[in-house]
Structure 1
């Protein structure tokens, strides 16, 4: 029952949805989540047990082989044709057939046939993370196992005892798989596990026992129920023990290293270096070339930022119906303005902001600025404060009574984050030459003891960002009441890029305000098919009338604005398309 039963179901059938989130997270942190996916280990055990049972029932070797292959085909469909299972089943079937007809097998040929079959069934599998990790791991083991084992023997000597030989073999397999798939793990998960090689020495054999007991219980459950019950009781002990060990290991500090997503150049250099290292074993002169390339690569890495032009980067993230902006200043400092919503079904901080920050290699955030306390702005920031170190928080100081608001400021206090309450006329400094001026809120809009006099939307912190002759106006959810106050700023209002207020609702973006701002670009942070009907047709029409080019996160995904001295560049994650009322 509980987590042990869910884990067994996941190991045998690949159905992990019932596995508690904390257990899955523990396996991820330790770097042994690969055992949760049905793959080579599981298929090898299943094939072996099927073959043994069929032979036990008196089938000849040839017939047992063909029945086992048929059983594997059925199993592949039971687990929904997952690439790792198809790959392992094809390889196991071919090896069994070769064994039966007494033919030698070539691992690379078998691996190639497995890949060909999968890609014939679904060519898009080439871009599937499971396909890449599965074939990458097996290929790495085939390529690197012998060199790693030889290196261990040279350093520590060749072991004479059987158990020591098994440990060396297990370490070599695990290290080979981790070296081969490391860049892909970094690309998709932005973390490199540090304990996985050691943890696999415990986890992999235990998984073998668990899968074997589970399959035997299934086999005997139809005709020897007491025996199957005893097997299940024993398996429950192994499952519970495994979960306990993994959770204990996951509590060790720094079990994984956060890393940015590697670039295509890194992939080429990394796998090129592995190829050269292997080649140098046969041709020693290659070692000089390898040393030269290593020194060249280190120099490029050290000096790359020296030749990079200073720039301001602003990313309007697609957080659904809400706001979430990331700013990276020329001096490397970072800022988050809002964090999208947090509900029982979706947490923009956990599923959008945090993966984006890890992808960018961001380990700490200098400034977090919730414009106001509505859930679609502050909700996702709770997860950010829970996961990332933050130096400063700035807000309007407006009182709010909600779980997200209370939890956010509870974390600010717990973590000793400096809090700054800002109002109209304040400025931010130390941003690498970027000007950040607070246009709002004015004191009359804010109350630190009760509800906002003119509504929470009108307490939004509004920032005007300037750099290199380009300006950006970030308006939060400010509505017409706040916009009337903005008009007093006059010369500070004209802007290049406007983050349209309140997701383009009809209560914002008055004609007087838009005529004073006259943006070249208008960015709408809005959720697809939202129940509020944002953005309104009226606002889209007004933006067109002032000549603004419209960008929308619901249609274009994340929108990136890069600003340098005298230039600006806008990129969208999805191809730009025009909708009704846009130009």
Structure 2
């Protein structure tokens, strides 16, 4: 195991290291990157060693999903070497390399332990017995964890409106409850006994998938339905949905701004209100296929504008893809659930039950991949204005009313709203698509990572780095109407710079991929391999190399031609100086002290108006001299809100301001757009 510690609780001489013997409890699980698993280890006692007193440590177990992690609540003994950082500017104080890790006791909430056991059993079984693509889909559909799905399949599922299958939601809870009811009927259990059984199972499943907003919504509604039935009262879905919304917002008011909250409740309302009118329109009668189609259309009509607003696209093939796929989902989930339950009981039939589930998962992926290849698979709109939503939903409501009483009034309202929408749409579409002309640099708010979009005066698009999350980056690019990237440039191989780029190769056309030819394994290797498969031109750049893209010239100032075999990817980042009509921009990647000192050899080329501040504004002893050589007018720090590293440091901000630099931060200002204007620059912030 390896981990990092929170500096506010650890004590010791800066830069020192030593062996420690710790005792504590596992608090939170499943926080690793794809291919890894991690958990929060809360230290309550130091058995040996004088370097630490108490605090938190995130322990990461690289690589193998099939190995079991300690369960929530387990008491552990951990022996390892603690290395405190030379300079602490945030909440991370050092790293712990754990050698021996021993479980002392299985304690904690029994439901949490059961949830962990279920999740861990399923993960081990799919990792051991299935191919990666089908294993990733089953894990995503049953646990809501799609980290192990390939970028190709994620893009296909999004384009076909099937991505909701990999976000644990009301659909999954409904299938789980139906499965329990089916088993109860086979065992001749009374309905009240079933309710007594299904309630703890429902809570356990919700805990296993991580209590996401859609799962909490569905669980609250299901528990209210069970309570109504148990007490002999009638159940009404809409009031129950309202109670779920009140509960979630009361618990955390900020949840109303989350996309998952908006999509979950919009889809549920759409099905509740529009399914019957659409079934009548389709003359579904007793046809299950037409009823399913009506439900799919109802959900898509409700969430379509939200999807276009947040992600820049809505699937046109969703009704067809859901009609083909949804009949397969209950059986696939039932087999996977049975496999996990049998595996939890220690019976060796779990892997056998997964084989037909894997076959169904492969069918789902084949449907998604083939439908995603259709040219009209998704409708893209850049960006989808909030004012259009203000017109769309009243139109939808009027259409719903037109199916009931007072049809004449409702149809008049519907006609008026449609006319207003058409007029507004014509006005919007008459506006220039590209916004203002000229050079535009957009520092995208992608959390704790880097991503910058440069638009040249001739319309060329250059993306430098891609943050950590594919979905976030894709949504950002689509909101900016980017369908083709002339070049994608990777500064170095860290996941917070390269992690989001794989999906971009599928979502956008890419002409050229540029990299520093350092650290070509892991995510970088995956990206380079995929680019080669897709026919994207790949080239490396070192100091002195130049890339010309129309009116924009990109000159590499680092890394040097000769790079040590054990080179640190941060220090040997690809450093670029971008020049064009009226602007100069320095993109130094994540260079720290060593890298900044190497750049001092070309100090005459560092002077630039705009600086992307290296390493998210982290502290560097050479920062004062480095910023003085650049003397930027504008400095942009790409950093995540409330990140665990304490970025940016106060010293870095003070050094920049001492140079007369105006500092902008993505965690405070959102997307930061800098445009070349007469005599200087215009800066527009997202918030």
TM-score, normalised via structure 2 length: 0.60
C-alpha displacement of 1:543:
3.7
RMSD over aligned Cα, in angstroms? 5.2
Q: 1:69 to 1:291 in 2, by over 3 A?
A: same
The equivalent of 1:246 in structure 2 is: 364
> CA–CA distance in 1 between the matches of 2:166 and 2:500?
30
> CA–CA distance in 1 between the matches of 2:336 and 2:553?
64
The equivalent of 2:429 in structure 1 is: 302
The equivalent of 2:510 in structure 1 is: 390
> CA–CA distance in 2 between the matches of 1:418 and 1:18?
28
Spell out the pairing of 1:155-554 with structure 2 (5 A cutoff). Answer: 162=286, 165-210=287-332, 236=354, 238-252=356-370, 253-254=372-373, 256-257=377-378, 259=380, 260=382, 262-280=384-402, 282-283=407-408, 284-305=411-432, 308-310=435-437, 312-317=439-444, 324-329=451-456, 332-337=459-464, 339=465, 348=468, 350=470, 353-369=473-489, 379=498, 383=502, 386-387=505-506, 388-392=508-512, 402-403=520-521, 404=524, 408=528, 411=531, 415=535, 417=537, 430=550, 436-437=552-553, 441=557, 447=561, 460-467=575-582, 472-474=585-587, 479=596, 482-483=599-600, 485=602, 487=604, 495-500=608-613, 505-506=620-621, 510=625, 514=628, 518-524=631-637, 537=651, 543-551=656-664
Structure 1 unaligned residues grouped into runs of 5+: 341-346, 575-583
* Greater per-residue strand proportion: 2
> CA–CA distance in 2 between the matches of 1:466 and 1:184?
38
> CA–CA distance in 1 between the matches of 2:328 and 2:636?
53
- Correspondence 1:21 to 2:149: yes
- What secondary structure, in the 3-state scheme, does the structure 1 residue paired with 2:578 have? strand
C-alpha displacement of 1:138:
2.1
TM-score, normalised via structure 1 length: 0.69
C-alpha displacement of 1:172:
0.5
- What secondary structure, in the 3-state scheme, does the structure 2 residue paired with 1:251 have? helix
> CA–CA distance in 1 between the matches of 2:526 and 2:194?
59
- What secondary structure, in the 3-state scheme, does the structure 1 residue paired with 2:486 have? strand
- What secondary structure, in the 3-state scheme, does the structure 2 residue paired with 1:314 have? strand
> CA–CA distance in 1 between the matches of 2:295 and 2:256?
24
> CA–CA distance in 1 between the matches of 2:413 and 2:236?
28
Q: Is the 8 A contact 1:392 1:420 kept in 2?
A: no
> CA–CA distance in 2 between the matches of 1:212 and 1:265?
43
Q: Is the 8 A contact 1:327 1:335 kept in 2?
A: yes
The C-alpha deviation readout for 1:107-139, integer Å capped at 9, x for no partner, is: 433433343344445544434444333322221
Q: 1:426 to 1:144 in 2, by over 3 A?
A: same
- What secondary structure, in the 3-state scheme, does the structure 1 residue paired with 2:674 have? strand
> CA–CA distance in 1 between the matches of 2:237 and 2:628?
67
Q: Is the 8 A contact 2:442 2:453 kept in 1?
A: yes
The C-alpha deviation readout for 1:336-374, integer Å capped at 9, x for no partner, is: 23x16xxxxxx737466444324434221123345x667
Count of aligned positions: 526
The C-alpha deviation readout for 1:420-464, integer Å capped at 9, x for no partner, is: 989979795745xxxx4556659xx975xx659xx9959843223
The equivalent of 2:18 in structure 1 is: none
Which of 179, 191, 201 does residue 75 from structure 1 map onto? 201
The C-alpha deviation readout for 1:216-246, integer Å capped at 9, x for no partner, is: 89999999x99x96xx799545413321211
- What secondary structure, in the 3-state scheme, does the structure 2 residue paired with 1:140 have? helix
- Correspondence 1:113 to 2:243: yes
> CA–CA distance in 2 between the matches of 1:112 and 1:459?
52
Which of 20, 32, 48 does residue 162 from structure 2 map onto? 32
* Structure label with greater radius of gyration: 1
> CA–CA distance in 1 between the matches of 2:221 and 2:447?
43
- What secondary structure, in the 3-state scheme, does the structure 2 residue paired with 1:519 have? coil
> CA–CA distance in 2 between the matches of 1:124 and 1:514?
41
The C-alpha deviation readout for 1:136-184, integer Å capped at 9, x for no partner, is: 222111222233233334xxxx77xx5xx22211111111111112233
Q: Is the 8 A contact 1:386 1:411 kept in 2?
A: yes
Q: Is the 8 A contact 1:138 1:177 kept in 2?
A: yes
Q: Is the 8 A contact 2:159 2:378 kept in 1?
A: no
Q: Is the 8 A contact 2:609 2:634 kept in 1?
A: yes
- What secondary structure, in the 3-state scheme, does the structure 1 residue paired with 2:437 have? coil
The equivalent of 1:581 in structure 2 is: none
> CA–CA distance in 2 between the matches of 1:39 and 1:333?
40
Q: Is the 8 A contact 1:505 1:535 kept in 2?
A: no
Deviates more, 1:416-425 or 1:296-305: 416-425
Structure 2 unaligned residues grouped into runs of 5+: 1-124
Which of 267, 270, 285 does residue 140 from structure 1 map onto? 270
> CA–CA distance in 1 between the matches of 2:527 and 2:608?
35
- Correspondence 1:149 to 2:276: no
Q: Is the 8 A contact 1:480 1:510 kept in 2?
A: no
> CA–CA distance in 2 between the matches of 1:235 and 1:410?
33
Deviates more, 1:406-415 or 1:106-115: 406-415
Q: 1:286 to 1:479 in 2, by over 3 A?
A: same
Q: Is the 8 A contact 2:221 2:241 kept in 1?
A: yes
Q: 1:384 to 1:16 in 2, by over 3 A?
A: closer
> CA–CA distance in 1 between the matches of 2:501 and 2:163?
26
Q: 1:457 to 1:99 in 2, by over 3 A?
A: closer
The C-alpha deviation readout for 1:484-514, integer Å capped at 9, x for no partner, is: 5453x7xxx8754334578774557748x83
> CA–CA distance in 1 between the matches of 2:135 and 2:542?
53
- What secondary structure, in the 3-state scheme, does the structure 1 residue paired with 2:143 have? coil
Q: 1:254 to 1:215 in 2, by over 3 A?
A: closer
Q: Is the 8 A contact 2:449 2:497 kept in 1?
A: no
